[in-house]
Chains A and B, each alone.
Chain A
Amino acid sequence: DAGVIQSPRHEVTEMGQEVTLRCKPISGHDYLFWYRQTMMRGLELLIYFNNNVPIDDSGMPEDRFSAKMPNASFSTLKIQPSEPRDSAVYFCASSLDGAIPREQYFGPGTRLTVT
C-alpha cells in the first residue's frame, strides 16, 4: 500500500489567500484525522471523520478552517482567508476501525507558510 498521501508537500501563500490541503487515506481505512504541528503548540488534533462523517471538530481553530470528506478516499482541509499564524505542518492520518489498538498511520505532512 502507498500509505497516506498528502498534497502538496509544501505550500507558500500570501496572507488572505485561500489554501486547500489534500489527503488520500489508506484504502479501507474508515477513520481520518487532521493534525497541525507547530513549535509553540506541538501536535494538535483539528478534526476527525468516521465513514466520511465529521465526528469531532472541536480542535478547528476558527471559522476560517473547514474540512470535508466527500468520499472514502479523499479529504480536504481549507483555510480561507489564510493568516501568517496558520503557518505550520499539517498532517493527515488514517485508521481502521476494529483494529486494536487502532493505530493511526500518518502522511508525510504539508508544510504551509503564509507570508
Chain B
Amino acid sequence: KAGVTQTPRYLIKTRGQQVTLSCSPISGHRSVSWYQQTPGQGLQFLFEYFSETQRNKGNFPGRFSGRQFSNSRSEMNVSTLELGDSALYLCASSEDGRNSPLHFGNGTRLTVT
C-alpha cells in the first residue's frame, strides 16, 4: 500500500499570501488529521476530518482551514500568512480515527518571508 502523500514538499511564500497544502491518505483510511510542527512546540493539532466532516479543531486562528473530499483526500488552507506560520505541516491518516494508529506523511515545509 502506498503511504500518506503530501504535496508540495517545500513552499516559500510571502507574508500576506495564502497557501493550500494537499494530503492523500492511505487507501481505505477515512480519517485525516493535520498537525503543525515547530522546534520546541512539538506537534500541534490543527483539525481532524472523517468522511468529509470536521470532527475536531485545535486552537488555531480562523486563517487555518481545511476540507476533505469524498475520496478522503484532504486540503489545508492558510490565508493571510504570517512569519510565525513557518513550520512543517504534517498530515496523518488512520482507518477511523479513534483507537487507530496515525500514519504520517513526510510533511510540507512552509517558509514565510
A and B interact: no
B interface residues, Cβ below 8 angstroms from A: none
